[in-house]
């Protein structure tokens, strides 16, 4: 695909007027200018290179475009900071970072923080451009400051409706439109009272304030059982917390949650870090629907749900870093398929409640090693005017890490 340098130039809403001299010089020098039609229109006539508007969809077309213009001086136009939710990172992935010369510009988030007086290191930035809005729910905590990159003019009212629906209607919302342009506009209100139209180019700032009585969730695994909609097929809170400790999610890892039930293990795995991914495998369609609803309500709409029985349903999935088996242990081939799917250093955690599934774990422990733990939780419940301990069924947990050979 060539190795000629590619210059990526960040451009604000004020266009040419806001560009520093090195960026202007790079654009004057370019033989070919690639960018969105709106950005190309911001260039003055004395920028004489051939102008080529991005095709849609852009990403699949990029390798061909770079090939076509190989050997010519190419400048790529980007909005704001090209490396912030922008074309820069995509180009680095496709063409290689060493080919890029990035002339940056303040991002919309930097401009928004400047207008709001917010320290940008304390802000959670999310994008709803091509991504589900429900991810906002994960970031809601009293006083949290969020900046949401909008998908368009409709995003502010959709964000307001979601906040209101989630019990965060009193949150303060500021919509910052066309930041940096002469006609920049900043509109403030509350999520519950949000009215009015927005410009298509906007970011939404949220200072989260819950309504009285809104359930506040903690950051660590072991969410309350009633945070989930379930039919009883739920790994209960205390055992779930212990199970997640054994699973030990690390950033970027992919989990298979096999026999996912209500989805709580995959959901809490994904809540551990924004880069953690999970696939929930569940044979019953009505449970699969519930898993997707629980994932959306708890702010991890990216959880992938696969309907079908293991081991067959596992065959075409992306290989996992870690597997949890919460159901199907006594079904022929399930545990073997999970172990086979793991690469060196991969981890498996399996929970058993019945005598038969516990026997399967004892056999796995004898064959492979690892750690066997049994937990039994008792809960205080009213007995007459007093309280007594009501024991839940014990749960056996097998944890095993595949050898990581050099």
Ligand X SMILES: C[S@@+](CC[C@H](N)C(=O)[O-])C[C@H]1O[C@@H](n2cnc3c(N)ncnc32)[C@H](O)[C@@H]1O
Q: Footprint of ligand X on this chain (CB under 6 A)?
A: 13, 79-81, 84-86, 107-108, 129, 149-150, 176, 178-180, 201-203
For the bound state, the minimum distance from the C-beta of residue 71 to ligand X, rounded and expressed in Å, comes to 28
Name which of 107 and 243 has its Cβ closer to ligand X: 107
In the complex, least distance from residue 234 CB atom to ligand X, rounded to whole angstroms: 38
Q: Which is nearer to ligand X, 84 or 269 (CB)?
A: 84
Q: Looking at beta carbons only, is 107 or 357 nearer to ligand X?
A: 107
Rank residues 147 and 260 by Cβ distance to ligand X and give the closer one: 147
Q: Which of 185, 155, 187 is nearest to 173 (CA)?
A: 187
- Determine the distance from the C-alpha atom of residue 386 to the mean position of all C-alpha atoms in its chain, rounded to a whole number: 46
Position of minimal CB gap to ligand X:
80
- Quote the least distance from Cβ 81 to ligand X, whole Å: 4
CB of 47 to ligand X, least distance (A): 20
Residues with Cβ within 8 Å of 22's Cβ and at least 6 positions away in sequence, in order, are: 103
Which residues have a Cβ under 8 Å from the Cβ of 26 and sit 6 or more positions away? 7, 9, 75, 101, 103
Q: How many CB atoms lie within 10 A of CB 156?
A: 26
Taking the least distance from each CB to ligand X, the nearer of 202 and 264 is 202
Paired with 50 in beta bridges are 32
Q: What gap in Å lies between CA 18 and CA 124, rounded to an integer? A: 27
- Which is closer to ligand X, CB of 140 or CB of 176? 176
Least distance from C-beta 63 to ligand X, angstroms? 20
Would you say 13 or 242 has its CB closer to ligand X?
13
Q: The tokens 């290689």 sit on which residue?
A: 96
Least distance (Å) between residue 150 CB and ligand X: 4
**Polymer length of the chain:** 406
| Least distance in angstroms from the C-beta of 64 to ligand X | 22
Query: Which two tokens mark 288?
Result: 């699969």
Strand pairing class (50-53; 32-35): parallel
Closest alpha carbon to 42 in 203, 202, 201, 204 = 201
Q: Which residues contact 149 (CB under 8 A, 6 or more apart)?
A: 85, 108, 109, 125, 126, 127, 128, 129, 203
How many CB atoms sit inside 10 A of residue 295's CB? Answer: 25
């Amino acid at each position: 695909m060539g190795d000629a340098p590619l210059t990526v130039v960040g451009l604000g809403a004020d266009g040419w007027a806001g560009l520093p001299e090195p960026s202007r010089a790079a654009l004057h020098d370019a033989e070919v200018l690639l960018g969105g039609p709106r950005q190309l229109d911001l260039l003055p006539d004395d920028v004489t290179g051939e102008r080529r508007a991005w095709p849609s969809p852009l990403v699949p077309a990029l390798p061909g475009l770079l090939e076509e213009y190989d050997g010519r001086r190419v400048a790529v136009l980007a909005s704001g900071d090209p490396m912030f939710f922008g074309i820069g990172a995509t180009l680095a992935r496709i063409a290689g970072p060493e080919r890029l010369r990035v002339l940056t510009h303040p991002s919309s988030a930097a401009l928004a923080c400047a207008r709001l007086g917010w320290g940008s290191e304390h802000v959670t930035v999310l994008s709803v451009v091509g991504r589900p809005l429900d991810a906002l729910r994960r970031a809601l905590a009293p006083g949290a400051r969020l900046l949401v990159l909008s998908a368009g003019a409709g995003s502010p009212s959709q964000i307001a409706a979601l906040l209101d629906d989630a019990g965060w209607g009193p949150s303060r919302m500021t919509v910052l439109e066309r930041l940096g342009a002469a006609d920049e506009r900043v509109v403030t209100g509350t999520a519950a009272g949000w009215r009015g139209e927005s410009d298509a180019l906007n970011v939404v700032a949220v200072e989260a304030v819950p309504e009285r009585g809104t359930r506040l969730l903690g950051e660590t695994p072991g969410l309350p059982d009633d945070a989930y909609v379930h039919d009883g097929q739920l790994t209960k809170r205390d055992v779930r917390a212990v199970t997640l400790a054994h699973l030990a999610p690390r950033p970027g890892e992919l989990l298979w949650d096999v026999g996912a039930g209500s989805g709580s293990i995959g959901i809490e795995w994904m809540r551990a870090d924004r880069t953690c991914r999970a696939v929930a495998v569940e044979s019953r369609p009505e449970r699969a629907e519930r898993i997707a609803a629980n994932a959306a309500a708890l702010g991890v709409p990216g959880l992938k749900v696969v309907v079908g029985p293991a081991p067959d349903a596992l065959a075409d999935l992306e290989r996992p870093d870690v597997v949890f088996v919460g159901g199907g242990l006594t079904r022929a081939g399930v545990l073997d398929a999970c172990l086979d799917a793991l690469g060196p250093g991969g981890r498996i955690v399996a929970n058993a409640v019945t005598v038969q599934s516990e026997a399967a774990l004892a056999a796995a422990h004898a064959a492979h090693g690892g750690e066997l733990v049994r937990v039994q939780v008792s809960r205080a419940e009213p007995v007459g005017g007093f309280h007594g301990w009501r024991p839940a069924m014990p749960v056996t947990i097998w944890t095993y890490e595949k050898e990581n050979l050099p």
